[in-house]
Chain A
Amino acid sequence: EPEVTQTPSHQVTQMGQEVILRCVPISNHLYFYWYRQILGQKVEFLVSFYNNEISEKSEIFDDQFSVERPDGSNFTLKIRSTKLEDSAMYFCASSGTVPNEKLFFGSGTQLSVL
Protein backbone atom coordinates (compact mmCIF):
# COMPACT_ATOMS: atom_id res chain seq x y z
CA GLU A 1 0.00 0.00 0.00
CA PRO A 2 1.45 3.40 -0.92
CA GLU A 3 2.38 5.61 1.98
CA VAL A 4 3.75 9.01 2.85
CA THR A 5 7.28 8.82 4.16
CA GLN A 6 9.01 11.39 6.33
CA THR A 7 12.60 11.89 7.34
CA PRO A 8 14.09 12.19 9.82
CA SER A 9 11.87 10.61 12.44
CA HIS A 10 13.51 12.74 15.12
CA GLN A 11 15.32 16.06 14.83
CA VAL A 12 17.01 17.88 17.67
CA THR A 13 18.21 21.41 17.06
CA GLN A 14 19.36 24.49 18.90
CA MET A 15 17.13 27.53 19.09
CA GLY A 16 17.82 29.86 16.18
CA GLN A 17 19.01 27.11 13.86
CA GLU A 18 17.40 26.24 10.55
CA VAL A 19 15.78 22.86 10.06
CA ILE A 20 14.43 21.14 6.99
CA LEU A 21 11.86 18.40 7.35
CA ARG A 22 11.48 16.09 4.41
CA CYS A 23 8.56 14.20 2.99
CA VAL A 24 7.85 11.97 0.05
CA PRO A 25 4.11 12.12 -0.67
CA ILE A 26 2.19 9.34 -2.38
CA SER A 27 3.34 9.37 -5.96
CA ASN A 28 0.12 10.15 -7.85
CA HIS A 29 -1.20 12.65 -5.30
CA LEU A 30 -1.52 16.29 -6.26
CA TYR A 31 -2.14 18.03 -2.93
CA PHE A 32 0.39 18.25 -0.15
CA TYR A 33 0.14 19.45 3.41
CA TRP A 34 2.01 20.04 6.61
CA TYR A 35 0.35 19.72 9.99
CA ARG A 36 1.83 19.75 13.44
CA GLN A 37 0.88 18.34 16.80
CA ILE A 38 2.24 19.64 20.06
CA LEU A 39 2.46 16.87 22.63
CA GLY A 40 -0.95 15.95 23.97
CA GLN A 41 -2.78 18.45 21.80
CA LYS A 42 -4.76 18.26 18.60
CA VAL A 43 -3.40 18.21 15.10
CA GLU A 44 -3.07 21.73 13.66
CA PHE A 45 -3.00 22.78 10.03
CA LEU A 46 0.08 24.64 8.80
CA VAL A 47 -0.03 24.82 5.03
CA SER A 48 -1.38 23.23 1.88
CA PHE A 49 0.40 23.15 -1.46
CA TYR A 50 -0.80 22.50 -4.97
CA ASN A 51 0.66 23.05 -8.40
CA ASN A 52 3.88 24.43 -6.90
CA GLU A 53 2.07 27.07 -4.93
CA ILE A 54 0.79 27.50 -1.41
CA SER A 55 -3.01 27.12 -1.44
CA GLU A 56 -3.76 27.89 2.17
CA LYS A 57 -1.74 28.65 5.25
CA SER A 58 -2.54 29.14 8.90
CA GLU A 59 -1.50 31.86 11.30
CA ILE A 60 1.17 29.51 12.60
CA PHE A 61 2.84 29.48 9.19
CA ASP A 62 4.63 32.81 9.48
CA ASP A 63 7.66 34.16 7.63
CA GLN A 64 9.93 31.70 9.42
CA PHE A 65 8.28 28.82 7.58
CA SER A 66 8.55 27.88 3.94
CA VAL A 67 7.70 24.88 1.80
CA GLU A 68 9.18 23.61 -1.38
CA ARG A 69 8.76 20.82 -3.86
CA PRO A 70 12.30 20.71 -5.21
CA ASP A 71 11.72 17.79 -7.54
CA GLY A 72 8.97 15.42 -8.58
CA SER A 73 8.93 13.44 -5.40
CA ASN A 74 10.01 15.45 -2.35
CA PHE A 75 8.11 18.04 -0.34
CA THR A 76 9.97 19.95 2.35
CA LEU A 77 9.17 22.21 5.26
CA LYS A 78 11.87 24.66 6.32
CA ILE A 79 11.92 26.57 9.56
CA ARG A 80 14.49 29.33 9.22
CA SER A 81 15.16 30.21 12.84
CA THR A 82 13.66 27.74 15.23
CA LYS A 83 12.04 28.76 18.49
CA LEU A 84 11.38 26.69 21.57
CA GLU A 85 7.67 26.71 20.79
CA ASP A 86 8.31 25.08 17.42
CA SER A 87 8.92 21.82 19.26
CA ALA A 88 6.23 19.46 18.03
CA MET A 89 5.52 16.47 15.85
CA TYR A 90 5.31 17.59 12.24
CA PHE A 91 3.17 15.55 9.88
CA CYS A 92 3.27 15.63 6.14
CA ALA A 93 0.16 14.53 4.26
CA SER A 94 -1.02 14.19 0.72
CA SER A 95 -4.31 13.72 -1.06
CA GLY A 96 -5.24 12.70 -4.57
CA THR A 97 -7.23 14.87 -6.92
CA VAL A 98 -9.51 16.59 -4.41
CA PRO A 99 -8.09 19.00 -1.83
CA ASN A 100 -8.66 18.36 1.86
CA GLU A 101 -10.27 14.97 1.34
CA LYS A 102 -8.86 11.62 2.38
CA LEU A 103 -5.53 12.93 3.47
CA PHE A 104 -2.89 10.29 4.04
CA PHE A 105 -0.40 11.17 6.72
CA GLY A 106 3.18 10.19 7.26
CA SER A 107 4.52 8.98 10.59
CA GLY A 108 5.87 12.38 11.45
CA THR A 109 9.10 14.09 12.44
CA GLN A 110 9.49 14.84 16.11
CA LEU A 111 11.24 18.22 16.30
CA SER A 112 12.84 19.19 19.57
CA VAL A 113 14.20 22.71 19.88
CA LEU A 114 16.61 23.19 22.77
Chain B
Amino acid sequence: GESVGLHLPTLSVQEGDNSIINCAYSNSASDYFIWYKQESGKGPQFIIDIRSNMDKRQGQRVTVLLNKTVKHLSLQIAATQPGDSAVYFCALGTDKLIFGTGTRLQVFP
Protein backbone atom coordinates (compact mmCIF):
# COMPACT_ATOMS: atom_id res chain seq x y z
CA GLY B 1 0.00 0.00 0.00
CA GLU B 2 0.94 3.63 -0.10
CA SER B 3 3.01 5.23 2.58
CA VAL B 4 3.91 8.83 3.10
CA GLY B 5 6.36 10.02 5.68
CA LEU B 6 8.23 13.06 6.73
CA HIS B 7 11.90 12.99 7.53
CA LEU B 8 11.88 15.16 10.60
CA PRO B 9 9.19 15.44 13.25
CA THR B 10 10.43 18.92 14.20
CA LEU B 11 12.27 21.68 12.39
CA SER B 12 13.47 24.83 14.11
CA VAL B 13 14.48 27.86 12.07
CA GLN B 14 15.32 31.43 12.78
CA GLU B 15 12.95 34.11 11.61
CA GLY B 16 14.00 35.30 8.17
CA ASP B 17 15.74 32.10 7.21
CA ASN B 18 14.45 29.70 4.57
CA SER B 19 12.79 26.47 5.69
CA ILE B 20 12.85 23.17 3.86
CA ILE B 21 10.44 20.42 4.86
CA ASN B 22 10.92 17.03 3.25
CA CYS B 23 8.60 14.16 2.52
CA ALA B 24 9.11 10.68 1.09
CA TYR B 25 6.49 8.49 -0.48
CA SER B 26 6.34 4.94 -1.74
CA ASN B 27 3.58 4.84 -4.35
CA SER B 28 4.97 5.28 -7.86
CA ALA B 29 1.48 5.63 -9.26
CA SER B 30 0.74 8.83 -7.36
CA ASP B 31 0.29 11.75 -9.73
CA TYR B 32 -0.86 14.47 -7.40
CA PHE B 33 0.84 15.86 -4.32
CA ILE B 34 -0.22 18.52 -1.90
CA TRP B 35 1.09 20.38 1.12
CA TYR B 36 -1.06 21.40 4.05
CA LYS B 37 -0.37 23.59 7.05
CA GLN B 38 -2.12 22.90 10.33
CA GLU B 39 -2.11 25.41 13.14
CA SER B 40 -3.03 24.40 16.64
CA GLY B 41 -6.75 23.74 17.00
CA LYS B 42 -7.47 24.26 13.31
CA GLY B 43 -8.06 22.15 10.27
CA PRO B 44 -5.46 21.55 7.56
CA GLN B 45 -5.01 24.58 5.34
CA PHE B 46 -4.10 24.15 1.67
CA ILE B 47 -0.70 25.62 0.79
CA ILE B 48 0.33 24.38 -2.63
CA ASP B 49 -0.05 21.36 -4.89
CA ILE B 50 1.86 19.82 -7.78
CA ARG B 51 1.17 17.21 -10.41
CA SER B 52 3.62 14.50 -11.39
CA ASN B 53 4.24 16.06 -14.80
CA MET B 54 5.99 18.94 -13.05
CA ASP B 55 9.06 19.03 -10.84
CA LYS B 56 8.68 22.50 -9.40
CA ARG B 57 5.89 24.89 -8.62
CA GLN B 58 6.01 28.24 -6.89
CA GLY B 59 3.51 30.15 -4.85
CA GLN B 60 3.75 33.14 -2.61
CA ARG B 61 6.91 32.54 -0.53
CA VAL B 62 6.55 28.79 -1.03
CA THR B 63 8.02 26.38 -3.54
CA VAL B 64 7.24 22.71 -3.92
CA LEU B 65 9.80 20.42 -5.50
CA LEU B 66 9.02 16.93 -6.70
CA ASN B 67 11.65 14.31 -7.48
CA LYS B 68 9.85 11.32 -8.87
CA THR B 69 13.03 9.33 -9.33
CA VAL B 70 13.67 9.12 -5.61
CA LYS B 71 10.03 9.67 -4.63
CA HIS B 72 10.73 12.79 -2.68
CA LEU B 73 8.72 15.93 -2.18
CA SER B 74 9.82 19.09 -0.45
CA LEU B 75 8.31 22.37 0.63
CA GLN B 76 10.48 25.43 0.76
CA ILE B 77 9.35 28.48 2.68
CA ALA B 78 11.28 31.67 1.97
CA ALA B 79 11.96 34.22 4.70
CA THR B 80 10.20 32.20 7.38
CA GLN B 81 7.97 34.22 9.68
CA PRO B 82 6.55 33.51 13.14
CA GLY B 83 3.16 33.00 11.53
CA ASP B 84 4.59 30.05 9.63
CA SER B 85 4.87 28.10 12.87
CA ALA B 86 2.61 25.08 12.43
CA VAL B 87 2.61 21.40 11.55
CA TYR B 88 3.13 20.76 7.85
CA PHE B 89 1.76 17.68 6.14
CA CYS B 90 2.43 16.34 2.71
CA ALA B 91 -0.32 14.27 1.14
CA LEU B 92 -0.70 12.04 -1.88
CA GLY B 93 -3.82 12.17 -3.98
CA THR B 94 -5.07 8.90 -5.37
CA ASP B 95 -8.63 7.78 -4.74
CA LYS B 96 -8.26 9.62 -1.46
CA LEU B 97 -5.75 11.91 0.18
CA ILE B 98 -3.12 10.03 2.15
CA PHE B 99 -1.43 12.24 4.70
CA GLY B 100 2.09 11.99 5.97
CA THR B 101 3.08 12.17 9.60
CA GLY B 102 3.80 15.89 9.74
CA THR B 103 6.72 18.13 10.59
CA ARG B 104 6.33 20.75 13.28
CA LEU B 105 7.99 23.97 12.16
CA GLN B 106 9.13 26.21 14.98
CA VAL B 107 10.26 29.73 14.17
CA PHE B 108 12.32 31.55 16.75
CA PRO B 109 13.33 35.22 16.70
Our verdict on whether A and B bind, yes or no, reads yes
Question: What class of interface size applies to chain B in its complex with A?
Answer: 20 to 34
Q: How far is the CA of A44 from the CA of B41 in the complex (A)?
A: 16
Q: How far is the CA of A108 from the CA of B45 in the complex (A)?
A: 12
Chain A residues near B94: list those with CB within 8 A: 100
A107:B102 contact, CB within 8 angstroms: no
A101:B32 contact, CB within 8 angstroms: yes
A102:B43 contact, CB within 8 angstroms: no
Interface string of B91-106 (1 = CB under 8 A from A): 1011111111110000
Known A-B contacts A105-B43, A105-B45, A107-B41; the reply to A42 vs B96 at CB < 8 A is no
Q: Is B44 an interface residue (CB 8 A)?
A: yes
Q: Is A58 an interface residue (CB 8 A)?
A: yes
Chain B residues near A102: list those with CB within 8 A: 34, 46, 49
B4 — nearest CB in chain A belongs to which residue?
A42
Q: Is B42 an interface residue (CB 8 A)?
A: yes
Chain B residues near A58: list those with CB within 8 A: 96
Chain B residues near A42: list those with CB within 8 A: 89, 99-102
Chain A residues near B42: list those with CB within 8 A: 107-108
Q: How far is the CA of A72 from the CA of B97 in the complex (A)?
A: 25
Among B44, B45, B96, which residue has its beta carbon within 8 angstroms of that of A100?
B96
Interface string of B53-95 (1 = CB under 8 A from A): 0000000000000000000000000000000000001010111
Chain A residues near B98: list those with CB within 8 A: 45
Q: How far is the CA of A58 from the CA of B94 in the complex (A)?
A: 13
Name the residue among A55, A56, A101 with the largest chain B CB count within 10 angstroms.
A101
Known A-B contacts A42-B100, A45-B97, A45-B98; the reply to A100 vs B32 at CB < 8 A is yes
B99:A91 contact, CB within 8 angstroms: no
Q: How far is the CA of A55 from the CA of B96 in the complex (A)?
A: 10
Chain B contact residues, CB within 8 Å of chain A = 32, 34, 36, 41-46, 49, 89, 91, 93-102
Chain A contact residues, CB within 8 Å of chain B = 4, 33, 35, 42-45, 48, 55-56, 58, 91, 93, 100-108
